[in-house]
Amino acid sequence: MFSTKNLIPAMAAPNDGFRPPDLLARAFANPHLTAGLAGGLLLITLLTVIGLLGDPRASTPVVRLSLAKVQGMAAPPGWREALTAPPREPVVIEDIFRLSETPLGPDGAFGGQATITMAGGRAFHAADPLVQAPLAGFHIQGPGGLLPIIAANGKTPAEAYARPFVPNGRPKVGMVVGGLGLNAQATRQAIDGLPPEITLSFVPYAEGLQGWIDLARAAGHEVLLEAPMEPVDYPDNDPGPYTLMATAQGTETVKKLEWVLSRATGYFGVTNYLGSRFLASDSGMNAFTGALRGRGLAFIDDGQAARRGGGIPRASAVRIIDEQLSGEAIDQQLLQVEAFALQNGQALGSGFAYPVTLSQVASWAESVESRGYQLAPASALTSRR
């Protein structure tokens, strides 16, 4: 056991030699103790000021939201899918080492495109976002949603929603990548990974279609809507319940087309999904192009309707670049697109949002201008015929 005799001297030390002034001097000479005392003094001072003057944040608006309410708040269709898509490994092509200042437009205002210089001296242009749809005056309410119309001043949706383009005299090459909106990861890769000059086309059956189109236009891409059309092997190959049929009455064709058109806004035209039988039908195509003409829309096809006009802005792909799904085969088709542009002044390619297609198109688009071409949106390759 511990002896109380030994504890008492420890608790009450003798006073011999104890000098208070020396103890205080030693305490203030300790930097840690001095800092602690200063901090305590500052805290007491601040509390005193707040008590006298009030909380300096008292006039600042404070918003408190229930997490349950936030979770249930409505969001634009498609954003939920876009934000919850499975993560993917980032693809690093080259380091960006210099970003120029935002250039001045011709009127001295900020605008235009900023130049991004990549390692190796290649330059890309960061696009301004395209204006958010719908634009006033270009739509009316239809039975199933908004339908495009020609504005009162004669301007068409094809003009209003196309990506701005200024030719530089070089042969123009363009690319349409389609099948977007059904697979979240592929759609995000196309929107984020392809330069804004690449035109993107979306499936009308996609959930959250307007949200995807908004994302694409915010990244600078112009947009097409895909019209499902009857192929020669229908019904074994069925594009869905709103397929435009070759033998249908014109009113039925227009009715189905208007359902497709009412699914979203912000597209400058329509492209075909399949359609080998429908595109060969004179009656079907007359009803189809007549409806587009009345609504001021363009028609871009994958090459199967190259001989058809309709009095509307038209362009046809000279190559479907990914009929063979290999990087080497796609690269060969892209070279054919370039060769056609060199001979004819312009050329358009078409592809589907397969992973290999997205990868090869991104690499091609990065280098094509260094070979003497100008990358152009599909709308810039249209002509009225």
User: Rounded to a whole number, what is the largest CA-CA distance in the chain?
Assistant: 119
Res. 201 pLDDT band, cuts 50 70 90: very high
Indicate whether 80 pLDDT > 50: no
Indicate whether 301 pLDDT > 70: yes
Residue whose C-alpha is closest to residue 375's, from 328, 339, 341, 344: 341
- d(Cα 296, Cα 255) in Å, to the nearest integer? 17
Highest mean pLDDT range out of 52-61, 74-83, 89-98, 177-186? Answer: 177-186
Q: Which residue has the higher pLDDT, 12 or 175?
A: 175
Instruction: Domains for the chain: give ranges and CATH numbers.
Output: 90-126 (no CATH), 130-384 (3.20.20.370)
- How many helices and strands (H and E) does the chain possess? 12, 15
- d(Cα 371, Cα 335) in Å, to the nearest integer? 11
Q: Which residue has the higher pLDDT, 260 or 7?
A: 260
Query: What is the per-residue pLDDT for 356?
Result: 98
Dihedral sign from CA coordinates of 277, 283, 285, 291: negative
Q: Which residue has the higher pLDDT, 99 or 2?
A: 2
- d(Cα 217, Cα 210) in Å, to the nearest integer? 11
**Using alpha carbons only, what angle is made at residue 60 by residues 56 and 63, rounded to the nearest 5 degrees?**
135
Q: What b-and-e string marks burial along 177-200, b requiring 16 or more CB atoms within 10 Å of the CB?
A: bbbbbebbebbbbbbebbbbbbbb
Q: Which residue has the higher pLDDT, 384 or 52?
A: 384
- d(Cα 231, Cα 284) in Å, to the nearest integer? 13
Q: What b-and-e string marks burial along 145-171, b requiring 16 or more CB atoms within 10 Å of the CB?
A: ebbbbbbeeeebbbbbbbbebeeeebb
- d(Cα 21, Cα 193) in Å, to the nearest integer? 74
Indicate whether 99 pLDDT > 90: no
Q: What is the pLDDT of residues 112-139, one digit of tens each?
A: 344 433 334 433 344 589 999 999 999 9
Average pLDDT over residues 221-235: 98
Query: What is the per-residue pLDDT for 18?
Result: 35
Query: What is the per-residue pLDDT for 339?
Result: 98
- d(Cα 337, Cα 320) in Å, to the nearest integer? 10
Q: What is the pLDDT of residues 313-346, one digit of tens each?
A: 999 999 999 999 999 999 999 999 999 999 999 9
Burial classification of residue 222, based on how many CB atoms lie within 10 Å of its CB (0-12 exposed, 13-18 middle, 19 or more buried)? buried
Residue whose C-alpha is closest to residue 38's, from 321, 138, 30: 30
Indicate whether 214 pLDDT > 70: yes
Average pLDDT over residues 29-35: 51
Res. 143 pLDDT band, cuts 50 70 90: confident
165: tokens are: 């383009």
Q: Compute the half-sphere exposure of residue 24: CA atoms within 13 Å on the CB side of its CA.
A: 3
Indicate whether 95 pLDDT > 60: no
Report whether 177 contacts 361 (CB < 8 A).
Answer: yes
Residue whose C-alpha is closest to residue 265's, from 311, 315, 313, 204: 204
- d(Cα 78, Cα 192) in Å, to the nearest integer? 15
Query: What is the per-residue pLDDT for 34?
Result: 52
Indicate whether 379 pLDDT > 50: yes
Indicate whether 36 pLDDT > 60: no
Parallel, antiparallel or unpaired: strands 269-274 and 223-229: parallel
Least confident of 55-69, 119-133, 258-272: 55-69
